[in-house]
Amino acid sequence: MEKILHSILAVFPTPNIEETAKYYNEIMGFRIVKYLDVKEPHICLYRDNVEIVLTKANNEKVHTNRELYGYGEDAYFITDNQEALQNEFISKGAKIVRPLHMTDYNNMEFVLEDIDGRWIAFGMKQK
């Protein structure tokens, strides 16, 4: 069967898209492209094959999956070099909330907390 789905784009509402974009650029190495003078202002963030779109939230707090549902990350990015990525993020001051480990579902992963409190996982299924 032909593969139809190839990737996902994350949309993160945030109280301050400029500050969040700065964090993703400085700490996580994303390139910033601003679309602030449009009907629906947003900022696009790019790194490798990943894109995140930041939109202006209607409130001053991001409500995370942990807060709303009791557990879970807010995004999960697939990567095949978790250790190098974790080390890069640590060297830039990222808050690692779950260091690199093997999960009970056989993924090697780590989780960081971004400037808005989102938990972002980086991992991949191990064979």
> Which residues neighbour 56 within 8 Å (Cβ) at sequence distance 6 or greater?
13, 14, 15, 17, 41, 42
Reference 42, options 16, 77, 60; nearest CA is 16
pLDDT number for residue 53: 98
Q: What is the pTM assigned to this prediction?
A: 0.92
pLDDT band at 78 (very low <50, low <70, confident <90, very high): very high
User: Structure tokens of 6?
Assistant: 């190839």
Q: How far apart are CA 18 and CA 38, in angstroms?
A: 15
Looking at residues 40-58, what average pLDDT do you find? 96
Q: How far apart are CA 109 and CA 105, in angstroms?
A: 11
**CA end-to-end span of the chain:** 22
Which structural domains are found in the chain, ordered by start? 8-59 (3.10.180.10), 67-127 (3.30.720.110)
Q: Average per-residue pLDDT in the chain?
A: 95
User: Structure tokens of 85?
Assistant: 């990525």
Looking at residues 63-83, what average pLDDT do you find? 94
Residue pLDDT, tens place only, 5-34: 778 899 999 999 999 999 999 999 999 999
Bridge partners of residue 101, in order along the sequence: 109
Looking at residues 95-116, what average pLDDT do you find? 96
Determine the residue type at 38: V
